[in-house]
Structure 1
Amino acid sequence: MTLHTLSPAELRLTIDPERLGLADTRELVNEPLPWIGQARAEAAARFGLQMDQPDYHLFVLGEVGSGRRSLLQQMMQDEAGKRPTPPDLCYLFNVDAPEHPIALRLPAGEGRLLRRLMTELARRLQADIPRRLVAQDVQAERDRLLLGFKAQEDEAYEALSAFAEARNFALLREQGRIVFTQRDEAGQPMTAGKALGLSREQRSALDQGEAELRNEISRFLERLRGLEREQGERLVALHRQTIKPLLEHELQAIRAEMRKNIKDSVKLGRYLDSVQRDLLDNLALFQDGNGDIEDTAERLAALAELLARLQVNLVVDNHGREGAPVIMEDNPVFRALFGSIEYESADGVLATDFSRIRAGSLLRAHGGFLMLQLRDLLADEPVWERLRRFLRSGRVQIEEPGMLYAPVAAVSLEPEPVDVDVKIVLVASADDYYLVQEADPEFARRFRCKVDFAERFDGTPEARRASAVFVAHTCARLGLPHFDASAVAVVIEAMHREAADQTRQSALFAHAETLVIESGTLAARRGAALTTADDVHEAQRARTERHNHPQQLLMESLKDGERLLAIEGERVGQVNGLSVVDLGDHAFGFPVRVTARTHAGDEGLLNIEREVQLSGPIHDKGVMILHSHLSALFAHIAPLALSAAVVFEQEYHGVEGDSASCAEFYALLSSLANLPLRQGIAVTGAINQHGEVLPVGGINEKIEGYFDTCAMLGLDGQQGVLMPRRNVRHLMLAPRVVQAVAEGRFHIHAVGWASEGMALLTGTPFGELAHGRFPPDSVLGRAQHTLEAYRRACDASGAGPSDTKRGRSTPRPLSPARR
């Protein structure tokens, strides 16, 4: 391969608007938006979303702006429409265990129906039960029962009175108490004086009679309590017998209203039976008491609590939904994801009940799809651990974890766990994905479907048509003027520039969308009906101007002479390298002087950036590789008696990447051969151990940065850039650079081997080894002559050459770093 000077046509891809097959994007609004350039990701996503087997959740990988989220959401919506509508979820009061509310699944819409029916039931019962309990027939039966018990009580009292009279005692009932008095034989009350006149035998008989009477009174009171208990039971039975048909009728109406084919019909039946039992057990709350205000208030509060237990807590309502749910959870905190239980403070105690249970995204997404961001989950360890348990069990247990650390006592509540069938779509970066694969394989194996979004795609005619459809949809969605064909062509060219490839477009459509928005806004401001190519170019220029202030400061330092840079003439051991400064929102190229000095010694190659910890590991690797190649060129005269130093002049912020290794190689050879290098030709490219020039990143920014520098300092028609041949396809240079090349004011040379570049920079043949020597008039021949002189100098001083030493410092990454 030989040196190749690139023509203007090779410097960028220019798209002919007429070949797009459209006048403007209004023609494309009705075309569906495809997965542009993401055929593999689309197939993987559809496979995963349609897979019904467990553990086939989706891991979606891709860069921010690739459309991974919006495209997956669109597909989830499509797939959800084909799925059946999932059931509602209710929580009900558990009569037998109030701390364990009952979970009930009902067909979509049935939850609202049950809630309405139970609310109406409570309202009707609150009016009907008291009215029924005071009905005439019920009161008549109640009076009959009371009269019967009164007759039995009177009969028992008469028997007790007869028993007392037989023993000379008189009975008197006072406010529920029985008082007796002793009488003499004449039937008169026994006075104290009469009692003192009784004989011992008479007093003994009286005491015995009193004891017998007391025992009889105790038996009477016991029987009376039994009668009262029986009376209460008979009255309760009467009330239950009276109200039970009413409840059975009401609850049967609810059973008839609800569908018979619901999954939890048996559970619903058991719940309604428990409701009937609970109401029958608390009928006393429906009856007026003794009129005491305090007792009445307590009864009404208890009645309200009883009726509140009839309410239905509809935590998931799918009424009116068609198909399955699609939920995008952007705030997956514990409560939002798994549900919660609300508490309120009452008398120093945190209280709650089944009506305060709230569903989270997992419960609401049952039967459908739930999208989460992996980074959000990794930032919250409790949520991560809980999600791991859910994936293992498939069940959601609603709880309030903070109650474990509540400063006051709390009423505990443990709702019934619920089985959940949901397809989780986890959006992640590639780094986070592989982190989980390594750190938590149990979690990762639940996500068997990997959806990998490409960062770029082939720029085929079909892809360009799809890109135009994307522009059309963006304009229609945001109300912007549509784009004519020339404007669409510039947007597609920008996507090629984003990908740094003439044959591929960038898949980061967020950047293209930004350009469409800014261009369309400019067109709208000038009142245009269509956005043109001039609007797009102006938007690009304006965006660069908003972000390039750091670049301008560096350019000013060159213009003011604060940074030394020669762009004309020739210098020994000095060449202009090209770096890229990446600030995140703006990347630009900037030339940096690379210098090298060599002398006799045994230190080998010294990388000054490494020694002062201003270089990263990749840059250090590049320097070591060029040193290996240099050593291999002169292996026939090894060991080398060489001490050399290479440095990026006036670089204070750190260097990373190996794209300057070719420039460093040229500077070293120039110093060894004592041959000057053309300063107007800047160099970029990495070198391997065999002398091949490898492609580098940021090629467009580097060339444009050097061109702008030369344009500022003065173009003389001799300047240019020496770049790797393998980077030619990556060129998407700005029109100003292409125009300068077409006019002969700037030149871009592509090489495949480092030797070709050295010949261009020095105007001297590189040289080939023959019979153990390089030609004396070649670059390598002159370098060999210098190395032999170094050896003789070392031998004369007694310090023979030794193995090359390496810098021992550990490089550290710096930001922003140049590459």
Structure 2
Amino acid sequence: EAWSSDFESRVSGVNIEGFGIAFIQNGNKLMVAYTKDGEPLDKAKVGELMKNGLTQEKLAKIQKVLASAVEPLLAEYKAKNQEFGQAQKKLAESQPQSAPPPEQKKAAGYVKMLTQFAASNYQIFMGKIDSASEDEGGIKDAPGQSPMDADDFFEASVLSSNRGEKGAPVVWVKNPTLDKVFGKADDNRRTMIIPGVGLVKGGAPGGPTLIGGAIQQAEGGFLVMDFMDVLRAPGLYQALMSAAKTGEASMVESGLQGLMSGKGEAYHVPSKVKIVMIGSPSLRMMVERQDADFALNFQASADFESTLKVSEESVAGYVQFFKKAVMSLARELKQEATNLTQDAMSALVEQGARMAESNRKLTAQFGALYSVVREATYWAHEAGRTEVRREDVDTAMQTRQDRDEVYRQHMLQTYKDNVFVVETTGKKVGQINGLAVMGSFGVPMRITVVPSAAAGSGEIISVDRQAGPSQTGSSFNKALGIVEGFLQNLFAQKRPFPARLSISYEQNYGGIDGDSATSTEIYSILSALSGVAIGQNFAVTGSADQFGNVQAIGGVNHKIEGFYELCKARGLTGDQGIVIPQANVADLQLSAEVVQAVKDGKFHIYAVSHISQGLEILTGVAYSEILSKARANLSAMGKPEAKSKN
């Protein structure tokens, strides 16, 4: 570098009345050019100088002087060039030799084969090949086919191009198929007409055309698909597992058809792509159990939160989402720009909290929210308005409920007609109203307990479980064990529990599972053992542990609203209500009608944290008194609580 810098300065220092020299490298040759004021000297420039007074004699003298300056510089350049070449050769010889990588060998082999083919069949570059040619050498067109040219042999298949893009590509594939993701190979076979034979498929002169898919477009980046869509697409899941394992994306002639028939030739393309599949955790766990390769190939997972904490930031994000949604929908409906009133935004945020079943969180399922915004926007445009109001959101939600109304009203009518017997007034011993969720609404269920003296140690008998092993689930069966543990802890510390308790979920004609009625069963058992009646104007939900602590359950809003609907249909008495776990208070996001009924004192919601609190609300009797009566009755059955002598 030092010599080059010095050499260039000496070359540029040659100056005879503004004339100089320049060395120009042209491949392996070094050319010398004359310059005038630093610009190349061509015939036009010389002619212009002659017009301005430069004589031929003077130009010849200048050229002679410049030539004498060039000779030593040129000799020096050649000597240095030879010296540098030898030094570079020695340096290369001193470096350890490494074998070329397989890809380089393949590429070199392909180029060699390509040049040999081109040399042997030079005539394809001389125009279209005529099938009637007399020349017997090289490749000739087959009879019946259109003439071939060089493009048929040497046209390259561009699998993907990210030219102009920045960063790693992210390719999202909707409704993926094997061909859409992996591409396919078109065999390019052409139909020939051969006299006396007919139509015949001929081989393509340049081989198959490879048509790239999404996995080639995502090379070096990310390929994103819906997991369920992948599983539904024939052959796609297996192909993805193979690509993840081998690092090669296989393209098959005729795509899925060639793969299924086993006749399509496969072409393997090296692939470095991160495959991202979006699906539910349950779907992932199911596939992991069925396919060990899945867990091996997909070792990283990220679970998205289904809810957002209510905060200034999350509510602001909600509002922005709603605004963009109504603007997008207005364009889709070809309507004027639509705005959201504050009341409408409040109603949508409330709906987000209701979907999350919480008054402290908002749902992150924006697809479900978008459908609500869509319907509300529709009703606003139907009313001839360019703004969405709360009434439009309410209409959207009401119409959704109306679509389920036939079944819901049918169920409600069966309760009103006492087809399903559930009492909402009066008091009963050993009978209580439990709650369940069917679809999107809650329904009450009558639970009864009948106690009797046991011949030996007592037990709890579930009529539903005895009906068959498929009638009750594991959570339900575990809940019965918890109830038994609670009773043992309360009444059988010194003597065996002497009662046989028969529990029945009346008019249950299907399977039953879950532990949300654990506290309900305990209430009805203590009522049956003590003889203290439970108010039928109440319904109860809540899990519990063996110490009587009431625990959270799911679907609390649907359960409350379901019992409220039944009480309203029969006539609200002002003392009806529901007992829920204290832990579910944060989940309350009730309809405006139920909220108003509670405010007006027509309906009541009681939150409890222990069995003792709930039982006193249900019976109006002190918990200690109920236990005392229960012990007395149990003593009469088998005296399990006889006093020990001091």
TM > 0.5 fold call: yes
Contact map agreement 1:275 1:310 (CA 8 A) in 2 = no
Partner of 1:156: none
Percent identity over paired residues: 28
SS in structure 2 of the partner of residue 316 of structure 1: coil
Return the alpha-carbon distance in structure 2 between the equivalents of residues 362 and 786 of structure 1. 74
User: Which of the residues 335, 340, 362 maps onto 2:179?
Assistant: 335
Partner of 1:211: none
SS in structure 2 of the partner of residue 372 of structure 1: strand
Which amino acid in structure 1 is aligned with residue 628 of structure 2?
A: G
1:627-642 maps to which residues of 2 (within 5 A)?
A: 627-642=484-499
Partner of 1:687: 544
Counterpart check, 1:361 vs 2:214: yes
Query: How far is the alpha carbon of 1:391 from its aligned partner?
Result: 2.0
Contact map agreement 2:310 2:360 (CA 8 A) in 1 = yes
Change in CA separation of 1:352 and 1:433 when aligned onto 2, cut-off 3 Å: farther
Return the alpha-carbon distance in structure 2 between the equivalents of residues 542 and 288 of structure 1. 75
1:592-603 maps to which residues of 2 (within 5 A)?
A: 592-602=445-455
Return the alpha-carbon distance in structure 2 between the equivalents of residues 481 and 707 of structure 1. 37
Instruction: Give the aligned length.
Output: 510
Query: How far is the alpha carbon of 1:654 from its aligned partner?
Result: 2.5
SS in structure 2 of the partner of residue 528 of structure 1: coil
Change in CA separation of 1:612 and 1:525 when aligned onto 2, cut-off 3 Å: same
Partner of 2:461: 606
Partner of 1:788: 635
1:706-745 maps to which residues of 2 (within 5 A)?
A: 706-745=563-602
Counterpart check, 1:575 vs 2:428: no
1:652-671 maps to which residues of 2 (within 5 A)?
A: 652-671=509-528
Larger deviation, residues 698-707 vs 656-665: 656-665
Contact map agreement 1:341 1:358 (CA 8 A) in 2 = yes
Counterpart check, 1:318 vs 2:161: yes
CA deviation string 1:377-427 (max 9, x = no partner) = 4456854343233223322342237558759xx7x8565x43223232221
CA deviation string 1:537-578 (max 9, x = no partner) = 121111111123221111101222222221111111111111
Which amino acid in structure 2 is aligned with residue 545 of structure 1?
A: D
Query: How far is the alpha carbon of 1:287 from its aligned partner?
Result: 9.9
Larger deviation, residues 372-381 vs 527-536: 372-381
Contact map agreement 2:129 2:147 (CA 8 A) in 1 = no
Return the alpha-carbon distance in structure 1 between the equivalents of residues 215 and 404 of structure 2. 42
User: Which of the residues 492, 496, 504 maps onto 2:349?
Assistant: 492
Query: How far is the alpha carbon of 1:277 from its aligned partner?
Result: 0.8
Counterpart check, 1:677 vs 2:534: yes
Which amino acid in structure 1 is aligned with residue 251 of structure 2?
A: I
Which amino acid in structure 2 is aligned with residue 693 of structure 1?
A: V
CA deviation string 1:770-810 (max 9, x = no partner) = xxxxxxxx1111111111212279xxxxxxxxxxxxxxxxx
Counterpart check, 1:753 vs 2:595: no
User: Which of the residues 208, 221, 242 maps onto 1:389?
Assistant: 242
Larger deviation, residues 513-522 vs 273-282: 273-282
Provide the TM-score with structure 2 as the length reference. Answer: 0.72
Contact map agreement 1:313 1:355 (CA 8 A) in 2 = no
User: Which of the residues 212, 216, 224 maps onto 1:371?
Assistant: 224
Change in CA separation of 1:298 and 1:729 when aligned onto 2, cut-off 3 Å: closer
Which amino acid in structure 2 is aligned with residue 420 of structure 1?
A: S
CA deviation string 1:507-566 (max 9, x = no partner) = 111111111111111011111121111111121111111123221111101222222221
Contact map agreement 1:334 1:383 (CA 8 A) in 2 = yes
Change in CA separation of 1:289 and 1:503 when aligned onto 2, cut-off 3 Å: closer
Return the alpha-carbon distance in structure 2 between the equivalents of residues 290 and 540 of structure 1. 81
Return the alpha-carbon distance in structure 1 between the equivalents of residues 515 and 493 of structure 2. 27
SS in structure 2 of the partner of residue 505 of structure 1: strand
Partner of 1:461: 312
Return the alpha-carbon distance in structure 2 between the equivalents of residues 574 and 303 of structure 1. 90
CA deviation string 1:699-721 (max 9, x = no partner) = 11111111111111111111111
User: Which of the residues 341, 366, 369 maps onto 1:509?
Assistant: 366
Partner of 2:75: none
Query: How far is the alpha carbon of 1:331 from its aligned partner?
Result: 4.2
Query: How far is the alpha carbon of 1:764 from its aligned partner?
Result: 1.7
CA deviation string 1:584-619 (max 9, x = no partner) = xxx111111111111112462111111113322212
1:40-55 maps to which residues of 2 (within 5 A)?
A: none
SS in structure 2 of the partner of residue 593 of structure 1: strand
CA deviation string 1:624-653 (max 9, x = no partner) = 211210121101352122111111122212
Contact map agreement 2:459 2:501 (CA 8 A) in 1 = yes
Change in CA separation of 1:405 and 1:588 when aligned onto 2, cut-off 3 Å: closer
Return the alpha-carbon distance in structure 1 between the equivalents of residues 451 and 142 of structure 2. 103
Taking CA–CA contacts closer than 8 Å with sequence separation of 6 or more, which of the two structures ends up with the larger relative contact order? 1
Counterpart check, 1:273 vs 2:115: yes
Which amino acid in structure 2 is aligned with residue 678 of structure 1?
A: G
Contiguous gaps of at least 5 residues in structure 1: 1-261, 292-296, 768-777, 794-819
Return the alpha-carbon distance in structure 2 between the equivalents of residues 305 and 735 of structure 1. 77
Contact map agreement 2:516 2:553 (CA 8 A) in 1 = yes
Return the alpha-carbon distance in structure 1 between the equivalents of residues 338 and 107 of structure 2. 57
Larger deviation, residues 317-326 vs 712-721: 317-326
Larger deviation, residues 660-669 vs 487-496: 660-669
Partner of 1:621: 478
Return the alpha-carbon distance in structure 2 between the equivalents of residues 313 and 429 of structure 1. 41
Return the alpha-carbon distance in structure 2 between the equivalents of residues 609 and 449 of structure 1. 43
Return the alpha-carbon distance in structure 1 between the equivalents of residues 312 and 488 of structure 2. 49
Contact map agreement 2:475 2:513 (CA 8 A) in 1 = yes
Contact map agreement 2:182 2:216 (CA 8 A) in 1 = yes
SS in structure 2 of the partner of residue 781 of structure 1: helix
Return the alpha-carbon distance in structure 2 between the equivalents of residues 567 and 303 of structure 1. 88
Change in CA separation of 1:448 and 1:600 when aligned onto 2, cut-off 3 Å: closer
Return the alpha-carbon distance in structure 2 between the equivalents of residues 332 and 616 of structure 1. 37
Larger Rg: 1
Query: How far is the alpha carbon of 1:274 from its aligned partner?
Result: 3.9
Which amino acid in structure 2 is aligned with residue 791 of structure 1?
A: G
Which amino acid in structure 1 is aligned with residue 414 of structure 2?
A: S
Contact map agreement 1:368 1:422 (CA 8 A) in 2 = yes
SS in structure 1 of the partner of residue 384 of structure 2: coil
Contact map agreement 1:619 1:656 (CA 8 A) in 2 = yes
Contact map agreement 1:482 1:520 (CA 8 A) in 2 = no
Contact map agreement 1:285 1:302 (CA 8 A) in 2 = no
Return the alpha-carbon distance in structure 1 between the equivalents of residues 176 and 371 of structure 2. 28
Change in CA separation of 1:684 and 1:268 when aligned onto 2, cut-off 3 Å: same
Change in CA separation of 1:432 and 1:414 when aligned onto 2, cut-off 3 Å: closer
Contact map agreement 2:169 2:220 (CA 8 A) in 1 = yes
SS in structure 1 of the partner of residue 302 of structure 2: strand
Contact map agreement 1:699 1:730 (CA 8 A) in 2 = yes
Return the alpha-carbon distance in structure 1 between the equivalents of residues 577 and 361 of structure 2. 26
Return the alpha-carbon distance in structure 1 between the equivalents of residues 105 and 221 of structure 2. 18
Partner of 1:522: 379
Change in CA separation of 1:630 and 1:308 when aligned onto 2, cut-off 3 Å: same
CA deviation string 1:251-278 (max 9, x = no partner) = xxxxxxxxxxx99997896576345313
Return the alpha-carbon distance in structure 1 between the equivalents of residues 476 and 567 of structure 2. 26
Return the alpha-carbon distance in structure 1 between the equivalents of residues 608 and 165 of structure 2. 62
Return the alpha-carbon distance in structure 1 between the equivalents of residues 621 and 566 of structure 2. 27
1:538-577 maps to which residues of 2 (within 5 A)?
A: 538-577=395-434
CA deviation string 1:345-376 (max 9, x = no partner) = 86797655324432232223223331123334
Return the alpha-carbon distance in structure 1 between the equivalents of residues 527 and 141 of structure 2. 102
Contact map agreement 2:359 2:589 (CA 8 A) in 1 = yes
Query: How far is the alpha carbon of 1:315 from its aligned partner?
Result: 3.9
